[in-house]
């Protein structure tokens, strides 16, 4: 931000102003340009936990270890072949079989077992609760009268306090180590996003994760989570107070349902020959060695293959170019099939006629200048009656007249111990090229290859004749190129935003009954994830609706449909409100809500409402309750009912509704456009927490496109445009305010700002 723009913002008194909040723009915009109405009370989406800690006498490390050991467990999860894929720790928090651990310890959709120090072993019956961003989980076993550990108040744990940690490091069962609290740290890595983790001067080894961190009275204050990558004698623990909301408001899922999280949709894909195939955010990932020859594993698509000629395509990325993964076609579901895939920097077409090396034929293996090593590459095969055409990034790489196999299924394949990711799988009679203007693409590739070529000795020698001038010129040119790259990336982001905006307006400009709210919510997620596969998530929601419908009787009434929907979402599949990281933007991405079965009131409501629509439940609508979006159920007989889908779809009592002081407007059906705008405001709140002004402007641009007459949103965009060094854009918004003269805006202040910008 330039100093001039910053001074203008200070002059406006806008730097400390909140942008329009999730309910009403003017309620949270304390700007000098608006005269906001009085605020209404809102419903808090999260409850607090009050803990009273009774002073206890200090124990020795030996005494603590003796007390804790009966409550400590080893947690293991197994792979598809039955072998142990991961080991960690856990501890009993309730006598009826509830055990706390780290989420990463129990794996993703894996069978889980626990073992106590006395040798007793149990299969985990359910995942009682979990939270991905705090890396915490509660699991339950079928056992009673277990020795539960007392939970302390981690907010009272001071720097320098002595602590004890217990776990199962490197498979060595039940060890103990002591140390001190070093500090409280904010940690953000991978999915983990914690504001105040406990930093401890204790080594955390593989297997310690999930174990308890205790004070010298034997109370649990944290759960061991992370090991420092910089030094051995340093680790981190998640405060136990973060676990308490999960205990208070669990989201239990039977283990049979847990095993489906992250799995491929069986209606679309059939994994064969082992390896681990998972799906998230529209991408399919695979890892582990397959059981077929060469570590081969297949994942066949279940849709009917078109008649000849047909084409299949996928975009693939290998974790290591020595690996191999790509397309498979003409498969009999066993050892007979073709494969086309990158491997060792080349492109290979193979035919498998059986299970051994003697029945494997490499039809062709060629290098290609169009293959981008270490990056995403789109590979495509055209299957004709008398030939095979294989492409990489729209360029023909291999042509073969092999005609041995033609009938069979198509899909994906991987070999050896390759880790690979796939996206945008397609199958059709003809698949259009992806590059758009081929001449532009080829020219760019040639230029980049010229820049990437290593400089020769002759060039370097010629540049040394006047080294200072040469260095200055090279650095100047590099600076110019870096600025050009930044401009191109900014342009690409803007082109993408405009594309999403256009698609969103086309969807929401339809009559209300025709608007697909779920599709509109997916478009918001696509704004930040260009590669999001909208069609895959639409199919997933349709499949969920079919699963619910299959549980209904022949002539279900509205109440029966409502019960089935609530049971499917909250009991069978564990959809739940985000407990520890409410404002994380992932909670506003509807695809991640489906992936993680976790969200905030409005996104969980969108899933609920769209599933209701798909099963013919027309008695529910969105209720725009301030601060806590809900669902309103209007049964054919009786009074309307408010449902809190953030809290398992529980009914809001009449007394609670009176306490909330709801107006008639709060109980009117929310329009789908207003729901999308409210979701955008939540995204702004999440972006503000990380000071991501570019993202905030991205969301605000969409809000203005959807609500062009909102003065508060125009002011909000003007502010963000100035913060993003777009003084001209800010000026245009201020001019709009002067020309439109909306009620409640201090026009003199607007004119003063406009004069300053000039």
CB atoms within 10 A of CB 16: 9
Q: Would you say residue 661 has pLDDT above 90?
A: no
Interval 416-445 mean pLDDT: 75
Q: Would you say residue 605 has pLDDT above 90?
A: yes
Interval 315-336 mean pLDDT: 93
Of 147-161, 265-279, 467-481, the one with minimum mean pLDDT is 467-481
Domain that holds residue 751: 3-39+708-757
Q: Is residue 443 part of a domain?
A: no
- Cα separation, 536 vs 267, in Å, equals 12
Q: Is residue 207 part of a domain?
A: yes
Q: Could you give the number of structural domains in the chain?
A: 4
Domain end: 402, 428, 454, which one? 428
Domain end: 365, 399, 428, which one? 428
- Cα separation, 177 vs 446, in Å, equals 59
Q: Are residues 245 and 283 in the same domain?
A: no
pLDDT of amino acid 498: 93
Q: Which helix (H) or strand (E) holds 412?
A: strand 409-415
Higher pLDDT, 520 or 187: 520
Q: Would you say residue 601 has pLDDT above 80?
A: yes
Of 82-96, 301-315, 515-529, the one with minimum mean pLDDT is 82-96
Q: Are residues 286 and 198 in the same domain?
A: no
Q: Is residue 55 part of a domain?
A: no
Q: Is residue 753 part of a domain?
A: yes
Q: Confidence band (pLDDT; 50, 70, 90) for 42? A: very low
Pairing of β 235-239 and β 192-200: antiparallel
Place of tokens 């995204």: 683
Residue 470 corresponds to which tokens in the numbers above?
């040469």
Percent pLDDT > 90 in the chain is 51
Q: Are 140 and 97 in contact (CB under 8 A)?
A: yes
Interval 352-380 mean pLDDT: 91
Query: What pLDDT, in 10s, does the model give residues 674-693?
Result: 999 999 999 999 999 889 99
Q: Are residues 100 and 246 in the same domain?
A: yes
Tell me, what CATH number does 212's domain have?
A: 2.40.10.120
Q: Confidence band (pLDDT; 50, 70, 90) for 82? A: low
Q: Are residues 546 and 400 in the same domain?
A: no
Q: Are residues 515 and 664 in the same domain?
A: yes
Q: Are residues 86 and 193 in the same domain?
A: yes
Q: Would you say residue 304 has pLDDT above 70?
A: yes
CA 9 from centroid of its chain's CA atoms: 34
Tell me, what CATH number does 296's domain have?
A: 2.60.120.560
Q: Are residues 249 and 381 in the same domain?
A: no
Q: Is residue 346 part of a domain?
A: yes
Q: How big, in percent rounded to 5, are the helix, strand and coil portions of the chain?
A: 35, 30, 35
Q: Residue 555 contacts by C-beta under 8 Å, 6 or more apart in sequence?
A: none
Q: Are residues 714 and 742 in the same domain?
A: yes
Query: What pLDDT, in 10s, does the model give residues 690-722?
Result: 899 999 999 999 999 999 999 999 999 999 999
Domain end: 395, 428, 461, which one? 428
Q: Are residues 398 and 523 in the same domain?
A: no
Q: Are residues 235 and 375 in the same domain?
A: no
Pairing of β 598-599 and β 336-343: unpaired
- Size of the chain, expressed as the number of residues it contains: 758
Q: Would you say residue 15 has pLDDT above 60?
A: no
Q: Confidence band (pLDDT; 50, 70, 90) for 639? A: confident
pLDDT of amino acid 44: 38
Tell me, what CATH number does 576's domain have?
A: 3.10.620
Residue 528, judged by CB atoms within 10 A of its CB (0-12, 13-18, 19+), counts as middle
Q: Is residue 478 part of a domain?
A: no
Q: Are 43 and 652 in contact (CB under 8 A)?
A: no
Place of tokens 């804790």: 68
- Cα separation, 329 vs 405, in Å, equals 9
pTM, two decimals, is: 0.74
Spell 361-375 as b/e; 16+ CB within 10 A means b: eebbeeebebbeeee
Q: Are residues 293 and 424 in the same domain?
A: yes
Of 473-487, 576-590, 708-722, the one with minimum mean pLDDT is 473-487
Q: Is residue 499 part of a domain?
A: no
Q: Is residue 16 part of a domain?
A: yes
CA 254-152-580 angle, to 5 degrees, is: 50
Higher pLDDT, 433 or 86: 433
Residue 178 corresponds to which tokens in the numbers above?
């002591």
Q: Are residues 163 and 68 in the same domain?
A: yes
Query: What pLDDT, in 10s, does the model give residues 492-502?
Result: 888 999 999 99
Rg, Å, the chain Cα set: 29
CA 736-673-499 angle, to 5 degrees, is: 70
Residue 154 corresponds to which tokens in the numbers above?
């981690």
């Amino acid at each position: 931000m330039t100093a001039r723009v910053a001074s203008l913002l200070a002059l406006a008194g806008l730097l400390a102003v909140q942008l329009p909040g999730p309910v009403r723009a003017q309620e949270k915009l304390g700007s000098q340009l608006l005269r906001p109405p009085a605020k209404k009370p809102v419903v808090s989406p999260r409850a607090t936990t009050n803990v009273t800690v009774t002073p206890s006498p200090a124990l020795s490390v030996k005494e603590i270890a003796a007390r804790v050991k009966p409550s400590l467990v080893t947690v293991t999860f197994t792979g598809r072949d039955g072998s142990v894929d991961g080991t960690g720790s856990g501890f009993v928090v309730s006598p009826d079989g509830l055990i706390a651990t780290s989420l990463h310890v129990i794996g993703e959709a894996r069978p889980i077992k626990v073992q106590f120090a006395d040798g007793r072993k149990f299969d985990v019956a359910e995942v009682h609760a979990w939270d991905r961003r705090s890396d915490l989980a509660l699991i339950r076993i079928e056992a009673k009268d277990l020795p539960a550990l007392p939970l302390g108040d981690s907010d009272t744990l001071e720097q320098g306090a002595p602590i004890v940690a217990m776990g199962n490091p490197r498979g060595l069962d039940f060890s103990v180590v002591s140390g001190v609290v070093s500090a409280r740290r904010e940690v953000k890595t991978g999915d983990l996003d914690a504001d105040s983790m406990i930093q401890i001067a204790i080594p955390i080894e593989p297997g310690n994760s999930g174990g308890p961190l205790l004070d010298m009275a034997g109370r649990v204050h944290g759960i061991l989570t992370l090991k420092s990558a910089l030094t051995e004698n340093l680790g981190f623990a998640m405060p136990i107070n973060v676990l308490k909301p999960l205990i208070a408001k669990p989201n239990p899922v039977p283990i049979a349902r847990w095993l489906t999280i992250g799995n491929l949709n069986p209606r679309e894909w059939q994994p064969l020959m082992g390896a681990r195939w998972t799906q998230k955010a529209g991408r399919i990932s695979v890892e582990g060695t397959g059981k077929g020859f060469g570590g081969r594993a297949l994942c066949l698509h279940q849709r009917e293959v078109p008649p000849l000629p047909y084409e299949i395509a996928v975009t693939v990325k290998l974790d290591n170019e020595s690996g191999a993964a790509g397309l498979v076609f003409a498969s009999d579901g066993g050892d007979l099939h073709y494969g086309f895939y990158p491997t060792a920097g080349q492109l290979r077409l193979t035919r498998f006629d059986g299970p051994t090396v003697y029945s494997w034929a490499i039809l062709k293996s060629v290098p290609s200048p169009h293959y981008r090593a270490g990056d995403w590459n789109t590979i495509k095969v055209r299957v004709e009656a008398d030939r095979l055409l294989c492409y990489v990034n729209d360029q023909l790489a291999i042509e073969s007249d092999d005609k041995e196999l033609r009938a069979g299924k198509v899909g994906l394949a991987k070999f050896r111990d390759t880790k690979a990711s796939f996206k945008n799988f397609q199958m059709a009679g003809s698949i259009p090229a992806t590059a758009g203007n081929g001449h532009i693409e080829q020219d760019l590739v040639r230029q980049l290859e010229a820049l990437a070529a290593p400089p020769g000795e002759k060039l370097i020698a010629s540049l040394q004749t006047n080294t200072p001038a040469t260095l200055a010129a090279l650095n100047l040119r590099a600076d110019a190129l870096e600025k050009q790259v930044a401009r191109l990336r900014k342009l690409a982001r803007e082109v993408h935003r405009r594309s999403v905006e256009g698609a969103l307006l086309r969807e929401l400009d339809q009559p209300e009954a025709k608007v697909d709210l779920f599709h509109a919510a997916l478009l918001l997620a696509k704004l930040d994830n260009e590669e999001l596969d909208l069609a895959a998530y639409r199919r997933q929601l349709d499949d969920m609706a079919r699963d619910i419908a299959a549980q209904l009787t022949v002539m279900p009434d509205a109440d029966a449909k409502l019960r089935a929907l609530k049971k499917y979402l909250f009991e069978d599949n564990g959809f739940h409100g985000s407990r520890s990281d409410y404002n994380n933007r992932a909670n506003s991405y509807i695809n991640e809500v489906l992936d993680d079965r976790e969200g905030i009131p409005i996104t969980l409501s969108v899933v609920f409402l769209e599933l209701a629509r798909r099963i013919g439940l027309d008695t529910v609508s969105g209720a725009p309750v301030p601060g806590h979006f809900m669902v309103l159920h209007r049964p054919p007989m009786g009074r309307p009912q408010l449902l809190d889908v953030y809290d398992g779809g529980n009914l809001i009592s009449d007394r609670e509704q009176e306490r909330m002081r709801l107006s008639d407007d709060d109980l009117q059906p929310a329009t789908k456009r207003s729901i999308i705008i409210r979701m955008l405001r939540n995204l702004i709140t999440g972006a503000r927490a990380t000071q991501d002004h570019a993202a905030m402007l991205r969301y605000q641009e969409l809000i203005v496109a959807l609500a062009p007459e909102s003065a508060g949103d125009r002011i909000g965009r003007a502010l963000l445009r100035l913060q993003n060094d777009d003084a001209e854009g800010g000026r245009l918004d201020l001019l709009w305010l002067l020309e439109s003269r909306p009620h409640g805006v201090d026009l003199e202040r607007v004119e003063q700002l406009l004069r300053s910008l000039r």
